[in-house]
Amino acid sequence: MKIQVLGTGCAKCGELTTRTEAALKQLNLEVTVEKVSDIREIMAFGVMSTPALVVDGKVCFAGRVPNVDELAKIIAS
Amino acid sequence: MKLRRWFVLLPLLVVWFFIYRFLKPFSEWLTFSVLPLDPATRLGQAVAFFVYDTPKVLMLLVLVVFGVGLIRTFFTPERTRRTLAGKRETVGNVMAALLGVVTPFCSCSAVPLFLGFVEAGVPLGVTFSFLISAPMVNEVALVLLFGLFGWKVAGLYLATGLAIAIGAGWVLGRLRLEKHLEPWVLETRQGAVAAEDERLNWNDRLDRAQQAVREIVGKVWLYVIAGIAVGAGIHGYVPDGLMAGIMGKQAWWSVPAAVLVGVPMYSNAAGIIPVVQALLEKGAALGTVLAFMMAVIGLSLPEMVILRRVLKMPLILAFVGVVAFGILAVGYLFNLVF
């Protein structure tokens, strides 16, 4: 499993990284969260609003920071 | 959709209106009977102002942020981009300015959004209309203006904010500034794996709206209270007409001065509006104050720094220049009319 957080480095992106890590802990998954901050790489995902979460190359959502429970649900599915 | 949820939300709304309706008599009773302060004293005036305005503004904020949060679940940047992609300039500018108000936007996403729009063939001027209106016409500003000054000032702010976004975007489009984009912008090709639109039911939308309330109100409430406290102090203690000489109508230079001071200042709407209220009350002219507020909220240095990654200096300067000119025009217009 590969998890990436797309964001240019604002407060919300940091928050999403923290919450994603918490959600992974909740699911007992040992996966490191990769941060993607290069704007061209972000654009390559077709994302226009940051932060966004990418699981195994698929964009799950963009432009918001869900809570830990919702994140766990998203990652699990 | 869970029906139960409406049974909770609707009575809450009724309770909201009921409390709101009786805030004024309640605050007066609290200040002048319970405390008990004399309405004729400065302290009495200041405390009555604070006790009435704080719950009033916070209640309005919760309601409007919830409403706007709900509306925003119907708009995404992706959908807005699709709407704007095929539009011609004039119509496009108007739609972009309107969509800028309702599309969720955070200034840290300004660059990917800009790239995404340009990539999809949205004209440069139309993209600018969106980028101007999104921060300038914001819901927190509108609520505070409505709560503190009434619907006329709030309406004026909305209308002139949109007019500047439309006008400045149109002018920037005429100037043919495409050559001042950073060269890599036009080479960037967006991946085809664009995020799919999520399917949301009403339950999800209400969740999102609640989340918006928690996030936004949680972030700004302290600024609001601090601002109202300052406003209350000025309301009670500063003599009337003090600001008239510096920011009054007859001081023609005060409008450009307000813009010059406002641009490098960066504050959210919640922090700046109670200050504005204090200025207005003590004799500052409406146009001058409006110009100051728009310069602070609408044109911010941090956003320019972010945009510098995709725009060359001449384009940044043209952007700031045209918008500042629009703000000046609005300032003078209002000082002339009112």
How distant is the Cα of A50 from the closest Cα of chain B, in angstroms?
6
Where do the domains of chain A lie?
3-76
In this predicted structure, the answer to whether residue B150 has a pLDDT above a threshold of 90 is: no
Where do the domains of chain B lie?
3-73+203-221, 88-190+237-337
Lowest mean pLDDT among A41-55, B90-104, B171-185, B261-275: B261-275
pLDDT of residue B166: 95
B191 touches chain A (CB under 8 A): yes
Chain-chain contact of A46 with B192 (C-beta, under 8 angstroms) = yes
Q: Which two tokens stand for residue B50?
A: 């604070």
Chain-chain contact of B193 with A39 (C-beta, under 8 angstroms) = no
The Cβ of residue A21 has, within 10 Å, a number of other Cβ atoms equal to 17
Q: Which two tokens stand for residue A22?
A: 């918490």
- Is the Cβ–Cβ distance between B73 and B205 less than 8 Å? yes
How distant is the Cα of B208 from the closest Cα of chain A, in angstroms?
9
The Cβ of residue A39 has, within 10 Å, a number of other Cβ atoms equal to 18
What are B32-46's pLDDT values in tens digits?
888 878 877 888 888
Q: What average pLDDT does the structure give for chain B?
A: 83
What residues of chain A lie within 8 A of the CB of B76, using their CB? Answer: 49, 63
The candidate with the shortest Cα–Cα distance to B93, out of B180, B172, B177, B181, is B172
pLDDT of residue B1: 52
| Strand-pair partners of B181 | B311
pLDDT of residue B158: 92
In this predicted structure, the answer to whether residue A36 has a pLDDT above a threshold of 90 is: no
Beta carbons within 8 Å of B188's beta carbon, 6+ residues apart: A40, A43, B115, B119
What are B154-166's pLDDT values in tens digits?
898 899 999 999 9
H-only helix segments in chain B: 3-21, 23-29, 42-72, 77-85, 89-102, 110-119, 124-136, 139-149, 151-174, 183-187, 202-237, 244-247, 254-262, 269-281, 286-298, 301-307, 313-337
Chain-chain contact of A47 with B194 (C-beta, under 8 angstroms) = yes
ipTM of the prediction: 0.82
Q: Which two tokens stand for residue B273?
A: 């509006």
In this predicted structure, the answer to whether residue A34 has a pLDDT above a threshold of 60 is: yes
Say if residue B25 is preceded by a cis peptide, omega within 30 of 0. no
B residues 307-336 near A, CB within 8 Å? 309
A10 touches chain B (CB under 8 A): yes
Testing the interface with A: which of B107, B109, B219, B309 to mutate, by most A Cβ within 10 A? Answer: B109
Chain-chain contact of A49 with B81 (C-beta, under 8 angstroms) = no
Q: Which two tokens stand for residue A64?
A: 């918001």
Instruction: State the distance between the two ends of chain B, measured CA to CA, in whole angstroms.
Output: 49
State the Cα–Cα distance between residues B116 and B196, nearest whole angstrom: 15
A27 touches chain B (CB under 8 A): no
Annotation: CATH topology of A3-76: Glutaredoxin (3.40.30)
Q: What average pLDDT does the structure give for chain A?
A: 85
pLDDT of residue B2: 62
Average pLDDT of span B52-75: 88
pLDDT of residue B170: 94
| Strand-pair partners of B154 | none
In this predicted structure, the answer to whether residue B51 has a pLDDT above a threshold of 80 is: yes
When pLDDT is cut at 50, 70 and 90, the band that residue B191 belongs to is low
In this predicted structure, the answer to whether residue B168 has a pLDDT above a threshold of 90 is: yes
